[in-house]
Chain A
Amino acid sequence: MAYQFNFAALEPYWTQFARGCWLTVLLATLAITIGLVIGIVVALARRSQIRALDLAAVSYIELIRNTPFLVQVFFIYFGLPALGLSFSPWSAAVLALSVNCGAFAAEVIRGGIDAIPKGQYEAGRALGLKPLQIFRYIVLKPALRIIYPALSGQFILALLTTSIVSSISAEELTAIAQSVDTLTFRSFEIYIVATILYLTLAMLFATIFKAIDRAYFSYPVR
């Protein structure tokens, strides 16, 4: 017996799906932005002369990278209130995603910084630049060029990871799909639509990032 698809049942909910897409993109953007700031700080701590700072940075990176995101979300949303830190589902989602992105961004950024030849630092110092100036002008820009592809990949990954925050009922595409599910009981159709929306978003951003890469980060070839 063939399954009777009924996508028409979902039509009244299209504004909700659109809202879900917007919230998902918003979550991913917040996560990658805050995560990038965390990542830069942690990557600098990784290079610090102070051992405790380096150790703290490594522990943070390894702890986040070797535990599932679901557990991180649960720990923040259900666990931290025991320490007096309570969050709304949405803030817990932003926090968890940012902390998660931060660890991965730190490794990407470190890779970019490590790729800058040592001679460049020495040249900078020889020119009398201060450490911060060396970092900004000599390290950051070429490093950005190297890490850009990995970072844009990180954004897409964050976009897909956001679906997991539906488990603490933070509102985004998956959570909205689940709420439409309880109203229509068309589970299969709903998740097909949600999957296609995620795929479209991922491909859209991949295309945009590639265009930006070509426009700003490629070396001029004449």
Chain B
Amino acid sequence: MIRQFGLNEALFILSGIQATIALSLIAFAGGGLFGFVVALLRTAENKAVRRLAAAYIDFFQGTPLLMQLFLVFYGLPAFGVQVNQWVAVAIGLTLHASAFLGEIWRGSIQAVPLGQTEAARALGLHYKDRLVSVILPQAVRLSIAPTVGFLVQLIKGTSLAAIIGFVELSRSAQIVASTTYKPLLAYGLVAIFYFVLCFPLSRLSAMAERRLSVSR
């Protein structure tokens, strides 16, 4: 039976936004945690450690997100780990985010002039103190714009969970499109929902970038 496209259908699509936001936040938080470690390893003094972190980043930046999700989705069961779609997608996106955030934060850490590290070392500060009191406060400022920019990318990336069958914003639009035979309306509406979610963040990122470039 063909359903009419009414307020209920629009609300059904909108309800998918919860899963999209939840997934984005989980991947962003988890990715941020691991990404911080990746950034530290990527800027470590040990060369082998740096190489390893670089390879990790290269892998995630050199392969499609969809393949990364497929590998987790089909890979975990192959190793006897049965997880539901939620967990599989969350793990995939978290790993993805950790590599990208790691690379962004590596850039921010390395953008802090080397003289700062040398001065801190001359003052007798150890690695942890140098990092916490000298490098990170400056690096964090530099990282705000690209980090928020990546969050937009991540929110858009969660749409690929729909391909695995996970119901979020895109998948709920797919469902409505196929029950109402109004794909133009369904996909147009879901595009607007994504836009409302992403556009303010994009503006925020651009604003942060401008503000920093002025102060430099």
Contacts and interface: CB of A to CB of B under 8 A. Distances in A.
Nearest to B161: A70
Contacts of B202: 62, 65-66
B156 A69 contact: yes
Contact of A202 (B62, B162, B183): B62
Given A69-B156, A79-B187, A187-B74, A199 B66 contact: no
Contacts of A81: 183
Interface string A194-212: 1100110011001000000
B78 interface: yes
A75 B191 contact: yes
Contact of B67 (A69, A83, A156, A198): A198
B60 to A, nearest CB: 10
A66 B198 contact: yes
A160 B64 contact: yes
Chain B interface size range:
35 or more
Nearest to B80: A1
Given A187-B74, A191-B74, A70 B62 contact: no
B64 A164 contact: yes
A50 interface: no
Chain A interface size range:
35 or more
Contacts of A80: 184
B194 interface: yes
Nearest to A174: B66
Contacts of B187: 71, 74-75, 78-79
A161 interface: yes
A48 interface: no
A62 B191 CA distance: 12
A3 interface: yes
